[in-house]
Amino acid sequence: MTGLLTIFGDADKLIIVSLLLLIVSAVARNFTINLSLGYTAMAIRGAVITAFWYMLAVGIIASILGLLKLGNPTWSIFLSQIWQATALLFVAAIVAIALIRFEGISPRLAKINIKTDIYSLQHTQSLILPGNIELIVQSNSYLMPLTIDGTPRGLFIFGEISYDVDVSGRNFRGEADRVCIIIDENVYEQILGSLRMQPERDVIYFGELFSSAKEALEVLRKHFARHGRSIVELPFIKVYSDEDMDYVKVGPITVIDTRSGEYVGIGPIKIQEGRIDEIKKPFEGTLLAISDLDRGWVFISVRGNRVKVSWGSSSVLSSPRGISVRRGKLTAVASPQEYKLVWGETVVKIRQDAVKVVAGKFCLKVTPPWIKLIDGRDVVKIKDEALANEIISAVRGIVNESPNILEGGRPDRIIDLIRETVKDKIVRWGQG
């Protein structure tokens, strides 16, 4: 201690240098960890935000110490510079959050490693995963554990594999030769306890197996980086962002924006519009990358009671709000309250007591007892409750064919059927 005081001159300078080193070490640690994981944008953004919060904390500490050293010129100069730097870093942090986008992948996902242990299955076995996912793995298939910091968090499976996912009562099935699974530790232990595996030594194709596992893991990482979440987790600021939700919490201020609703909270003041599901931490749950023999790579994510299956330009999402199916630019959304089919500028919307169809110059709006039909220059308005209910029922029956449309049929065929059916019913009503 005496030596340090000799170097720095007095205790004030020693404390100041210690506080500055605290800031530098925190920023350097955050920057180095993110950069080592390959996230340059995250490293820059995280370093700026970390610098702001630590500078603010040091400013508060220095202000308290300054009260004990009234009139000390060293502390007065230091405090002035600290608060100037804090103000500049506050502006820089806002700019960084607004302009610098994260690569999106969770650091925990990036830290997954493949163990060199190899196991084989002597008999065909079934694995049940969260989200009503079943894998049937044939005998003589190989398994390799995946770990995070030495803790088991998943499996790579190579062999003959069948998979089945129950998505809101519809089964999504396929055959695969490789599956990469990331799961919670407790689920991994349950699966491991149900498998009868035999350790393998001196596997001839070890190099090929390890390379295949690396490829599958990298495919999984890249997919969930693209479709995953941007993440900031600091003491006073949390930001989660993905294709379905934006969540920002800065101190007492919370802002949530999802497809189903919006929420703003400032301390005890809370304003909500629509429905907000529970916010879960990034990549809690189960992730799968499946090398399907027909579809190519299929990706499945399970977070709570939300299951999403995606492949190519298609996806199926199931949640308590309903089910959403996408194929390219075509989307069908079904919930207990509403069914909606959208592609391009065409919209078909069906509720229990109303129908709305918009497709170019064709527009149908039915709200019993009123019916309004526009087809080019032709405009028809009718007030008849029985006919309105009959048209709603007919349109609902036509749209029930939309699953086939989503699987590869012509979406404009639905509009043609609706136009023909509605006009036919109106003509018959006029003749009656």
Distance (Å, whole) CA 383 – CA 368: 8
- Is residue 1 scored above 50 in pLDDT? no
Name 256's Cβ contacts closer than 8 Å, sequence gap at least 6.
Answer: 245, 246, 247, 248, 262, 263, 264, 276, 279
pLDDT tens digits for 190-227? Answer: 877 778 888 887 777 778 888 999 999 988 888 886 55
From the list 173, 39, 167, the residue with the least C-alpha distance to 106 is 39
Amino acid letter for position 160: E
Number of residues assigned to the chain = 432
pLDDT tens-place string over residues 289-337: 999 999 999 999 988 788 899 998 888 888 877 888 888 878 888 887 8
What is the model's pLDDT at position 137?
Answer: 93
Q: Could you tell me the pTM of the whole model?
A: 0.63
pLDDT tens sequence across 135-154? 999 998 999 999 887 888 88
Has residue 92 got a pLDDT over 90? no
Q: Which long-range contacts (CB under 8 A, 24 or more apart) does 34-39 make?
A: 34/107, 37/107, 37/110, 37/111, 38/103, 38/110, 39/102, 39/103, 39/105, 39/107, 39/110
Specify which of 178-192, 251-265, 400-414 reaches the highest per-range mean pLDDT: 178-192
The Cα–Cα gap between 297 and 309 comes to 11
| pLDDT at position 246 | 67
C-alpha 258/C-alpha 317 separation (Å) is: 15
What pLDDT is recorded for position 6?
44
Rounded to whole angstroms, the Cα distance separating 315 from 130 reads: 19
Q: Is residue 68 over pLDDT 60?
A: yes
pLDDT at 425 over 60: yes
CA distance 191 to 181: 11
Q: Which pLDDT tens digit goes with each residue over 25-37?
A: 888 877 776 666 5
